[in-house]
Amino acid sequence: SSPHSRVALNAAHVVRILCENHGSLVLSELQRKICQEFKTKDGNEDELKRITSDERNFLIKEDLVVAKTSVRVCGNFKIKDGNEDLHLCKYHVCGNCSHRNCISHDLSCHNNQDLLMRMHLQYLTEANLFQLLLQNDPELLPEVKHVTLKHLQISYSHCILFSMISSMKTYQIVKKY
């Protein structure tokens, strides 16, 4: 008997499976993974449609299912309890915190655990939770930095974009770093 044979499919399972796969999957692939995990043949198709219709947890664009959350990373670490956001260093979530003793790397503090339980995210691994946060929290997007050199303007951001405005002889490069 599988560990999930007596467990009904729910939103927490679907969010976890999506986060294990970079936050989104085509619906048919999601159904296949559910069949594998729950040892079923039908992939709980009707139940999956019902679950993914919850716009608080999922976005469906054509046949792509994307995990969503309203959980955000708190920008004010002085507020300790009662905050509806995770007390985490945004640089830690992004994977580039250089402060070894940063106290905001602890997912196990009371506020964080309480929030994760209320939002049914307590079973996500740290990596899966960070995936979910990175694709939902706009505060975690990289900062845009501008450097101007004579006729060259360089902006570093999260995406790759190159545009040349020939009339002004200005080049704008947005480079992933």
Give the tens place of pLDDT for each residue, 93-126: 888 888 766 767 878 888 899 999 999 999 999 9
Per-residue pLDDT tens digits for 148-160: 554 554 444 333 3
Per-residue model confidence (pLDDT) at position 74: 84
The pTM score is 0.71
Per-residue model confidence (pLDDT) at position 168: 29
Q: What angle do CA 25, 29, 30 make, to 5 degrees?
A: 65
Q: Are 116 and 16 in contact (CB under 8 A)?
A: no
For 99, the enclosing helix (H) or strand (E) is none
- Where do the domains of the chain lie? 11-67, 90-140, 145-176
Q: Is the pLDDT of residue 62 over 80?
A: yes
Per-residue pLDDT tens digits for 3-50: 444 457 899 999 999 999 999 999 999 999 998 888 877 767 888 999
Q: How confident is the model at residue 59 (pLDDT cuts 50, 70, 90)?
A: very high
Q: In what order do the strands lie in the sheet with 24-26?
A: 24-26, 64-67, 58-61
Q: How far apart are CA 35 and CA 45, in angstroms?
A: 10
